[in-house]
Amino acid sequence: MRENEKDNHVPSRYLIDKTFAARQRNALFILLRDFNTSSHSSCNNTQSNYRNLFPLLKLKRPTILDMSIPGLALPGLTFSSNPSSTPSAAAQNATTSFEVPTDQPPRFIDLKPRTEYRFETSFSQAPLGITLLTSKTEGVPESATAELFGTELVPNVEYKLQGVKAAVYTWYGCQLRVQGETDSEYVAEETEMTIWSNLHGYLEGKRSPGVAGPKVLVVGPQNSGKTSLIETLVAYSLRSDRNPLVVNLDPAQGMLAPPGSFSAATFGAGRMIDVEDAGVWGPGGSMVDGPSKAVGGTALTYHFGEKDVLGQVQSRRFMGLVERLGLAIKGRMARDPDAEAGGLFVDTSAALAGSKGDDAIARIVDDFEINMIIILGSERLSTSLSQRYPQHDSSKSVKILKLPKPGGCAERDSAYMQALRASQVRSYFYNPKNSAMLSPFTQILDFSIVQIYKNATSGADESAWNPGDEDEEDTTSGKTLEKVTPSVSLQHSILAIAHATAVSSEDDVSISAVLGYVYVTEVDETRKKIRLLAPGTLGNLFGGDKGKVFLCGSWPEDVLELAR
């Protein structure tokens, strides 16, 4: 371990020996074959197959004692040492509930090996504090580790989490100090982490210098754990010294941008996942950064501005933006060997899990050159995609892997999701963690230099339109945007600043990237002025009298009283 890593408690990265890597790839090949030939097996059988397929394998690393864990070990991950006791091989669905005292003193939770502390907090509550303690519990090593969706907790550092539905997992047991109120909390002994770690091992075996890494598409219904799985796999990839690309195609939640957007970013040395961000990006929604990161730290973003990706007009624009992002990803991988080797993870909207989403999924597979589709909690989707991409056909290079819905997936009602989106928008403009970096300013623009486009509307019955129907009449002749005059209806909404000029065509504006976002605080129709709130680093975009091009939509909802 390097000295600077030791002092700062930064997890070191270790290499795995070639013999273990070969055994790992072979074992995962058997696992994938088993899944492809028994796609209709129950979730319990699936988890049982995972446990029975793999013997105890040892992960070697320098200066640390050898250790063994059930299933495949994680290449490059930093587990501390051998536990003094081995947990039962047949974990049951047992849970332990906690009675939270009304005066909220700190409480201490001892986690056994391969268990997790699940909790839910609301935005109306004070942040929940969680600290990984240097354990004094009998049978638990002092250097025990814990992780939140793959991102390790630093010992003796309190993490503040608010409006989060998440879980802290430990491989070898640990003790947590918890301070604050929760809506729900319990310890679960039946988790999906062994399955997900085995999946990481398989993907890691596909990575090598000079070879394109795995390109993974994750699909499934709402609240099935899609984003949580991707965040965990990305965190494990980072701990294995990889730089994966991540694409978010779910307008219901943003990634490094407000909701209503599609974005792509490389995660690596310049963008590590913070634990407090991880809790939000995982089950609650997505990590949102303002535009004031260092050069290379912002995401490539396109504004969609609608909740539904499969309506008649929305689907056409959705496919256009997917194509643009696919081209951008190919260009980035061609220029960046590390990103190419790290691979790609694509998160998707729950709408694609419905009967109308199969053709849209096929387009995504083509545009991003996907070679693995992971299906969470949907038998219908598994059957449909297996027929489209037969696993016995060598010409079809797309593997289908069906995984059970994680038992810890919490239901997120509409009120919670609306509060989450409002929180993400506020975070973009103010960044509560570092308000000095994001001090928004107010800018007043004249109507004459403002061009605002919104998504085109159609009188057709969008619910009856299925993407891919060639004989369906196109009632809008391909038009996806229309220009609007600023009005009071825009107040309290967010606008995307398009990377376009006043002379750009509507088609060019439709597929233009986003430079940043502004918030409409006031529209004066009499004086023909519009007042905007913008993050401080966007100030140079408002100089001069050149026309400004903005995009608006019906999503996300208006956020009241954002301006302070």
Distance in angstroms (rounded) separating the CA atoms of residues 459 and 357? 22
Distance in angstroms (rounded) separating the CA atoms of residues 475 and 526? 36
**CB of 518 closer than 8 Å to CB of 493:** no
Consult the annotation and say whether 223 binds a ligand: yes
Taking every pair of C-alpha atoms in the chain, what is the biggest distance, in angstroms? 75
Helix, strand, coil percent values for the chain (each to nearest 5): 30, 25, 45
Helix 18-37 / helix 43-53 crossing angle, nearest 10 deg: 150
Distance in angstroms (rounded) separating the CA atoms of residues 232 and 214? 15
Distance in angstroms (rounded) separating the CA atoms of residues 37 and 465? 34
Consult the annotation and say whether 548 binds a ligand: no
Distance in angstroms (rounded) separating the CA atoms of residues 524 and 107? 53
Q: Which SS3 state, helix, strand or coil, does residue 342 take? A: helix
β-pair partners for 289: none
Consult the annotation and say whether 165 binds a ligand: yes
Q: Please confirm whether the linkage preceding 535 is cis (ω < 30° from 0).
A: no
471: DSSP letter: T
β-pair partners for 208: 211
Consult the annotation and say whether 537 binds a ligand: no
Distance in angstroms (rounded) separating the CA atoms of residues 212 and 371? 11
**CB of 178 closer than 8 Å to CB of 129:** yes
Residue corresponding to tokens 């992971």: 374
* Tally of CA atoms within 13 A in the half-sphere of 544 that contains its CB: 5
Consult the annotation and say whether 226 binds a ligand: yes
Distance in angstroms (rounded) separating the CA atoms of residues 245 and 176? 32
Consult the annotation and say whether 473 binds a ligand: no
Residue 540: other Cβ atoms inside 10 A: 7
Residue 63: other Cβ atoms inside 10 A: 7
Q: What is the DSSP string of 93-138?
A: S-EEE-PPPTT---EEEEEPTTEEEEEE--TTSPPEEEEEE---ST
Residues making up the binding site: 116, 165, 223-228
Residues making up the binding site for ATP: 116, 165, 223-228
